[in-house]
Amino acid sequence: MTTTERHPKFTQISYSEEEEMALALIDPVSIKRTAPRKITKKVHDSENDVRQSTQYKKLKLTKKINYLDIKHKDLLMVSEYNDDILKYLYRREKQIGSTDNYMKDLASPYNFGSSMRAILIDWLIEVHERFHYVQETLLLAIAIMDKFLSQNLVTMSRLQLLAVTSLFIAAKFEEIKLPKLSNYSYITDGAASAKDIKKAEAYILKSLRFDISIPNPLNFLTKYSESNKTSERSVQMSKYILEHLYCSPHFINLKPSQASTIAFHLAKQINNETCELQAEEHTTILRESYRELVHEIAQPSTNLEALFEKYKEEVNGKVYQEVRDWCITHVTDST
């Protein structure tokens, strides 16, 4: 029997056009090969009206979704959950508490020098840029590193291992796609092997009791910019100011919400934009830290060249010089 001949026991079954359409839809092979044929039949005017109305609703919904995607680029700031998320972040912030500023106490055994910390963070910024990570990852890495250094003694030869491992942990927490562990080892130029990073990761997490879900200051910053009419320029400036604040050794003890408040209001003031302050934001520590930050930006106590060069670039709005010039003018006028 040839392949073209049919067995006498089997008869050919004929299908209507609608039945063939249904079979094509449930047959994956048919779907891959050819698209299902469109069924054309006469419909009443009322059915046409319903179809047009449905298409209009879909188009309207699509436009609404696109608008929401533009307005809420950060998935954590979904409007219907926004207030609940922030309430949780404030509670979480109180549970964790502030990190002890080990760099201000010169007699502290944990103080290894502000200049050495600046070198370490400057290198961390370069690595962060090389891996194309989001800003949240860098801020969390610095927070993890400072929290560990405020409780543990680390030798100079192990500081780079601590920095790269903190970035590795933060990336696992914040990023979607991670480089290979070997890339982290390679970026240290032989100072830390992949095995060293694994051991350091376990030790850091154990020391911090695996409590690294530190509220990210950018979440608060996004909320402030949404609740106050904020220009894109002010948002770019506030991100730079916030990063400078985290890199400086003078503000380690600030909570994430406090750091965001200072950065946001300084950016708004530079751009001559009004901003409504809540009662809890008028605290002494914020006013003192605000003045200290203005002086720090105008006359940096540590060299953070990688940070300055980063915010001189077009992709980051070239905000560095404008912010620094304003701070210099403000410091000069106040003296």
* pLDDT for residue 33 is more than 80: no
Q: Would you state the pLDDT for residue 87?
A: 86
The domain locations on the chain are 112-207, 217-334
* pLDDT for residue 262 is more than 50: yes
* pLDDT for residue 9 is more than 50: no
For 287-315, give the DSSP string.
HHHHHHHHHHHHS-SS--HHHHHHTTSGG
* pLDDT for residue 206 is more than 60: yes
User: Per CATH, the architecture of 217-334 is what?
Assistant: Orthogonal Bundle (1.10)
Which has the higher per-residue pLDDT, 273 or 284? 273
Residue 307 binned pLDDT confidence (cut-offs 50, 70, 90)? very high
Instruction: Identify whether the C-beta of residue 275 lies closer than 8 Å to the C-beta of residue 290.
Output: no
Residue 17 binned pLDDT confidence (cut-offs 50, 70, 90)? low
Which has the higher per-residue pLDDT, 18 or 109? 109
Encoded amino acid at 18, one letter? E
Distances (CA, A) of 49 to 56, 62, 75: 11, 20, 37
Q: For the residues 23-37, what does the mean pLDDT come to? A: 43
The region, left, alpha or beta by phi > 0 then psi within -120 to 50, assigned to residue 218 is: alpha
Which has the higher per-residue pLDDT, 323 or 64? 323
Instruction: Identify whether the C-beta of residue 252 lies closer than 8 Å to the C-beta of residue 103.
Output: yes
Q: For the residues 33-51, what does the mean pLDDT come to? A: 47
Q: 112-207 and 217-334 share one CATH topology?
A: yes
Q: How many CA atoms lie within 13 A of 81 on its CB side?
A: 10
* pLDDT for residue 146 is more than 60: yes
How many residues belong to the chain? Answer: 335
Q: For the residues 32-42, what does the mean pLDDT come to? A: 44
Q: Would you state the pLDDT for residue 62?
A: 46
Q: Would you state the pLDDT for residue 145?
A: 94
User: Per CATH, the architecture of 112-207 is what?
Assistant: Orthogonal Bundle (1.10)
**Summary mean pLDDT of the chain:** 78
Neighbours of 234 (CB within 10 A): 23
* pLDDT for residue 309 is more than 60: yes
> pTM of this prediction?
0.74
Q: Would you state the pLDDT for residue 56?
A: 52
Residue 54 binned pLDDT confidence (cut-offs 50, 70, 90)? low
Which has the higher per-residue pLDDT, 226 or 71? 226
Q: Would you state the pLDDT for residue 20?
A: 53
